[in-house]
Amino acid sequence: MGHDFGGEHPVRVFTTQARWNALAHGTAGMGDFKPEIIVEKSGVVAIDPRDPAAVDALNRRPGPCLVTVADGTGMEVIAAFRLLAARADARHPVLLKDTLDVSHPQDDATSALLTSARNLGSLLCDGIGDAVLVRSETDPGQSLRLAYNILQAAGRRIFKTDYVACPSCGRTLFNLQQTTRKIRASTGHLKGVRIAVMGCIVNGPGEMADADFGYVGGAPNKINLYVGKTAVKFNIPEDEAVQRLIDLIREHGKWVDAPPPATPQA
Ligand code: SF4
């Protein structure tokens, strides 16, 4: 295999040769959404996981082999990949596909998004998958954005700042929407950092998921800051708290300065 899959490697984003060709002139401007591997050139082996002979042949291969479910098996996507993951040896990395039937394209972008998010998201959250291929969305660039965003939402590949915010309720101790906007404006360029913004200390710390840093209402107009699930700064006046959060991120080596705004080309 030309690329490393599985283990500590990021989940890879595949595209098709046709989509690669369509994007080839513009990949420089695609930023974080570049395709990484062309499926037709990847050497991926496609099998029907219900076929014992195919599974046996796969598992008799001496080395790791990128594997996926073959199109047109008639199986439901999530069930098909769960079966593949259960039957293929763990040494074989798995390429997930959002659909196994490209002959019936989705009616619209929303249906495509829901299909991809449901199928890939469920499998990725189960811990299945070392690479993904989105085909329900027919626009080449949009299919890549969708793939990366599903990976981010599933927590499997963080390529931009990740935010967790509580929905707010009667306990919320500051203006959650306004503060979240302010924090996003200051930290939106920090790739891979997870920040939680929670309205109160009653339930907030327990709901911060795996955030690296937390901004939590401690008392009226006072903020507590967290590193992981540990409170490290207490009762900071609200008007200083965003800057103190930035200082905390810097102290923990996760800060980089925002890139200068792009200059318009002549
Ligand atoms: S974290 Fe606190 S403020 Fe936010 S929704 Fe939960 S209880 Fe309400």
pLDDT of residue 127: 94
pLDDT of residue 235: 96
Look up residue 144 and give its two tokens: 């890549």
169 C-beta closer than 6 A to ligand 1:
yes
Beta pairing, strands 67-69 & 95-97: unpaired
Q: pLDDT per residue over 160-191, tens digit each?
A: 888 999 999 999 999 999 999 999 999 999 98
pTM of the predicted model over 0.85: no
CA gap 112, 116 in Å, rounded: 6
| 157 alpha carbon – ligand 1 mean position (Å) | 27
User: Ligand 1, from 163, 164, 166, 180: best to mutate by most atoms within 8 Å of Cβ?
Assistant: 166
pLDDT of residue 135: 94
| 236 alpha carbon – ligand 1 mean position (Å) | 19
Q: Are 208 and 226 in contact (CB under 8 A)?
A: yes
Q: Which of 167, 152, 142, 143 is closest to 121 using CA atoms?
A: 152
CA gap 140, 219 in Å, rounded: 48
Residues of the chain with pLDDT under 50: 266
**Which residue has the CA at smallest separation from atom 5 of ligand 1?**
168
- In a 3-state reduction of DSSP, which class is residue 71? coil
168 C-beta closer than 6 A to ligand 1:
yes
